[in-house]
Structure 1
Amino acid sequence: MNKIGLIGGTGPESTIEYYKGIEYGVQQKLGCNFFPNLTIESLSVFEVLGFCEKQDYSGLTNYLLQGIRNLAAAGAQYAALTGITPHIVFDELSEVSPIPLISMVDSARDYAGVHGYKKICLLGTLPTMEGTFFQSSFAKCGIEVVTPNAEEKNYMGMKIETELEFGKVLPETQSAFKKIADRIIREEQVQAVVLGCTELPLIFDSVELPVPYIDVMQVHINTLIDLIMQS
């Protein structure tokens, strides 16, 4: 089986979900008592957000690259980022990485394409919603990406950084996030809502919307499970 290396800690909550999802996902597919070998290099989400705030994308690339080099040294044949925000430098990182990287954004795009979506709403951290890397990837499949307005973006970004990254799910924040999603669905007529931050499933877990979710983390986990099981 292929060995996967994960860049974790961006943030810790999603890293836990990746580990459990991959280990038990492979076991379930095999139908026997077996867990795959994988390596996690834990970095800091706050370092990542700091690089993004300063728009120091070269610094961010180098920060992530050192982690990927450690994964390769531990025998990983492929690597994946467990946070979406670091994908802002995914193309640059792929060019210098010693092992192939598996994109969370491209996995979500392919999933949306298979399901025939043409217009989606993207929710995530401020760098993710204000960046272009999501839109560029989805545009390759003819999918339009819309995001919240400036005030909503700032609110969501702040709540993700100060609450969700620490595993906190507050009812008032959950209600506000639902209100934002409902407005965009109603006004923009989107066909799906992309949970474009690996902590967002925490807050949308018990929230019902009139359109489907695309949980980019789970889609990515499924992609990695399939890759591990390839001989």
Structure 2
Amino acid sequence: MKTIGLIGGLGPESTVDYYRSLINTHRALDPKGDPPSIIINSVNMEYVLRCLEGKRLQDLAEFFVVELQKLANAGADFALITANTPHIVFDDVERRSPLPLISIVEATADRAQQSGFEHVGLIGTRFTMQATFYPVVFARKEMQIHVPKESEQEYIHERYFSELVKGVFRDETRRGLAEIIARMRDRNGIQAAILGGTELPLILRGGEAAGVPLLDTTQIHVGAALARLIG
């Protein structure tokens, strides 16, 4: 069986969720099979954030190429970057990566297209909501991405790093996120919302918010990895 490599630590809570989801989903798909072989490289999230804040995208891409080489050296056959925001440099990293990569954005776009969605909301870090990597990929599949208003983006970003990344999940924040999704539904006519930060599925559970289906990027990414592994 091939070995899955994970670039983790972006942040720790979602890395644990990836590991648990890979094991549990594989068990559901193949109850009698051996569990998947997984190697995790937990990287420096603070360095990643400094690169993003300073718009040092070349440095960020180089960082991930080096960290992926460590996974390759350890025996991984392909890899996932277990966060949405680093996909801002995915194309550059993929060209230089020593391992085949599975894009969380491409996998999510495939799922949205299969579901028949045309207008899709996106919430995540400010870096993700203000970048073009989601809109570009979705536009290729004739879907439109909608993001929250600037004040709503600031609310999400602040709660993301002051609470979610630290493993703090408050009901007040859960309600606030659901209210933003509801306003996007009313304002933009979104048919689904992308949880474009891998900590978000840890607070928005149940598959929908304000009656809007949620696209859990962690589970979608895990599913794509296991399809590669088993297929």
Q: TM-score range by the shorter chain?
A: over 0.9
2:217 is matched with 216
Equivalent position of 2:94 in the other structure = 94
Distance 2:93 2:117 in 1: 29
Measured in 2, the distance between the counterparts of 1:165 and 1:45 equals: 10
Instruction: After TM superposition, give the deviation of residue 210 of structure 1 in Å.
Output: 1.6
Asked if structure 2 preserves the Cα contact closer than 8 Å seen for 1:7 and 1:81, the reply is: yes
| CA–CA separation in structure 2 for the residues paired with 1:74 and 1:127 | 31
2:113–2:141 contact (8 Å) kept in structure 1: yes
- State the shift of 1:200 in Å: 0.5
Which moved further from structure 2: 168-177 or 103-112? 168-177
Normalised to the residue count of structure 2, the TM-score between the two structures is: 0.96
The aligned residue for residue 141 of structure 1 is 141
Q: Is the 8 A contact 2:181 2:212 kept in 1?
A: no
Q: Where in structure 2 are the equivalents of 1:76-155 lying within 5 Å? A: 76-155=76-155
Q: Please say if 1:70 is aligned against 2:70.
A: yes
Cα deviation for residue 46 of structure 1 reads 2.5
Cα deviation per residue 1:123-164 (whole Å; 9 max; x = unaligned)? Answer: 000100000001111111000001011111111111101110
Provide the rounded CA distance (Å) in 2 between the counterparts of 1:21 and 1:171: 23
Q: Deviations over 1:45-99 (max 9, x none)?
A: 2222221111000111111111100000011111110011100000000011011
SS of structure 2 residue aligned to 1:227? helix
Partners of 2:124 and 2:196 within 8 A in 1: yes
Alignment of 1:1-231 (within 5 A): 1-32=1-32, 34-205=34-205, 208-230=209-231
Aligned length: 230
Residues 154-201 of structure 1 deviation map (CA, whole Å, 9 limit, x = unaligned) = 111111011100110112222211111111111111110110000001
The one-letter amino acid of 1:157's match is: H
Checking the alignment, whether the CA contact within 8 Å between 1:26 and 1:229 is kept in structure 2 is no
Q: Hey, what's the Cα distance between the residues in 2 that align with 1:178 and 1:31? A: 35
The one-letter code sitting in structure 2 at the alignment partner of 1:211 is V
The Cα RMSD (Å) is 1.2
How far apart, CA to CA, are the structure 1 residues paired with 2:223 and 2:89?
A: 23
In structure 2, distance between residues paired with 1:201 and 1:12: 14
Are the equivalent residues in 1 in contact too, given 2:152–2:180 (CA < 8 A)?
yes
Mapped contact 1:11–1:44 kept (Cα < 8 A) = no
Range with greater deviation from structure 2 (181-190 or 197-206)? 197-206
Q: Following the alignment from structure 1 to structure 2, what is the Cα–Cα distance between the partners of residues 58 and 68?
A: 15
Q: How many angstroms apart in 2 are the aligned matches of 1:203 and 1:28?
A: 23
TM-score by length of 1: 0.96
Moved more, 198-207 or 156-165: 198-207
Q: Give the conservation status (yes or no) of the 8 Å contact 2:179–2:210.
A: no
Shift of 1:28: 2.4
Does the residue aligned with 2:193 lie in a helix, a strand or coil?
Answer: strand
- The separation in 2 between residues aligned to 1:210 and 1:191, in whole angstroms, is 9
Note if contact 1:8-1:82 (Cα within 8 Å) is conserved in structure 2: yes
Q: CA deviation at 1:6?
A: 0.4
Please, which runs of 5 or more residues in structure 1 have no aligned partner? none
